[in-house]
Amino acid sequence: MKNWIWLTTIILAIIVSVAGASYYFEVFSTTQEKLIVSTTTSLFDTGLLDTIEDEFEAKYPIDLYFISVGTGLAITHAQRGDADMILVHAPSQELTFLEEGYGTCRKIVAYNFFAIVGPEADPANIKDLPPTQALSKIVETGRAQGAIWVSRGDDSGTHTKEKGLWTAADFDWNLIREEEWYIEAGTGMGKTLQVADNLDAYTLADMGSYLKYRKDGIIFLETLVTQGEELLNVYSAIAGNQTRQSHINFDGAITFIKFLISEEGQEIIANFGKDMYGQSLFYPAVNLLKQNTDPTLLQWIKNYAFIGGYECPPEYWADHPELYT
């Protein structure tokens, strides 16, 4: 089983390499101002960034290009200077990105929730349990050869969240990942959902990706665990640090961040998916942070995604205090 997953991963890597070569040729063959955003698959695959790109480019003379990978690799692209900014969802990795001098001007732009999804039969009987209790039941059933868990296994924001949930459930992720019932797909959210669907397995998914793939008839997994602060998912935009990498388009990154947090940008996020899925795939965060419209949710965001009590500590403001006032 695991050999099959690794073969699939190798094939996907070859496809990504070929696509990547084509992508870079396209980016550097134009003379118009470019902004390269390294971002997570959950934002890209849902189509949200296509909508944002259309509206942004209609307003500004900047060509947007997105590198769509897991958060860990998105950050690596920016560290190498291959991207001008990142748009990701892993606060612990974002903090390291800032502290190591690669990022500035972090802004929280959106949120949604993760869910534990799985087969309708629900062999571990986890429906509506608290997340950590559900994971305990999956381990128990998996060890009895009655359930399978599929992990992204790609150092993405979703993978980082998953590892945190295993820790909260008192399991050592480094140990359980070696067990037969635990499979690492090593790929993006959409492919991971498809692997889980094919195997009648459980997985952790962001609700945006799940709703799109379910609505499109690509998967038939059910949402089983959706409640709790532990499943909060927060997206942040971070500009690169021009003092460290002088070639990056820092001004373009700031322009794009300001668009994302503007009334227009937040409205795009709020409305995306409503007509097709009956609900928003992502929720705008700016007014919630500014106006405290939901004190409980605001506190959850602060607990999970704030750094030392700040959306972005002042030492990383890069002469743009207007972003935080």
Tens of pLDDT along the chain (325 residues) come to 555 444 444 444 444 444 444 444 444 445 689 999 999 988 998 999 999 999 999 999 999 999 999 899 999 999 999 999 999 999 999 999 999 999 999 999 999 999 999 999 999 999 999 999 999 999 999 999 999 999 999 989 999 999 999 999 999 999 999 999 999 999 989 999 999 999 999 999 999 999 999 999 999 999 999 978 999 999 999 999 999 999 999 999 999 999 999 999 999 999 999 988 888 999 999 999 999 999 999 999 999 999 999 999 999 999 999 999 8
Residues 283 and 281: their CA atoms lie apart, in Å, by 7
Across the chain, where does the E strand assignment appear? Answer: 34-40, 63-69, 85-88, 103-118, 149-151, 182-184, 203-206, 222-225, 232-240, 283-284
Q: Is residue 269 part of a domain?
A: yes
Residues 268 and 102: their CA atoms lie apart, in Å, by 28
Across 226-284, where does the E strand assignment appear? Answer: 232-240, 283-284
pTM as predicted: 0.87
- Same domain as 240, residue 93: yes
- Same domain as 223, residue 122: yes
- Same domain as 172, residue 76: no
C-alpha atoms less than 13 angstroms from C-alpha of 12 in its C-beta half-sphere: 16
Residues 25 and 27: their CA atoms lie apart, in Å, by 6
Q: Is residue 35 part of a domain?
A: yes
Residue 66 near residue 37 (C-beta atoms within 8 A): yes
For the four alpha carbons of 53, 37, 306 and 170, in that order, the dihedral sign comes to: positive
Range of the domain at 187: 114-230
Residues 54 and 72: their CA atoms lie apart, in Å, by 26
If one counts the domains in the chain, the total is: 2
CATH number at residue 144: 3.40.190.10
Q: Which of 183, 212, 230 is the last residue of a domain?
A: 230
Residue from 232, 272, 304, 236 nearest 37 by CA: 236
- Same domain as 217, residue 153: yes
Residue 268 has what pLDDT? 97
Q: Is residue 271 part of a domain?
A: yes
Residue 165 near residue 129 (C-beta atoms within 8 A): no
Q: Which of 230, 260, 282 is the last residue of a domain?
A: 230
Residue 31 has what pLDDT? 66
Residues 189 and 213: their CA atoms lie apart, in Å, by 10
Q: Is residue 159 part of a domain?
A: yes
Residues 232 and 304: their CA atoms lie apart, in Å, by 8
- Same domain as 137, residue 73: no
Q: Is residue 95 part of a domain?
A: yes
Residue 23 has what pLDDT? 46
Q: Is residue 1 part of a domain?
A: no
Residue 135 has what pLDDT? 98
Q: Which of 195, 213, 230 is the last residue of a domain?
A: 230
Radius of gyration of the chain (CA): 19
Residues 240 and 235: their CA atoms lie apart, in Å, by 16
Q: Is residue 2 part of a domain?
A: no
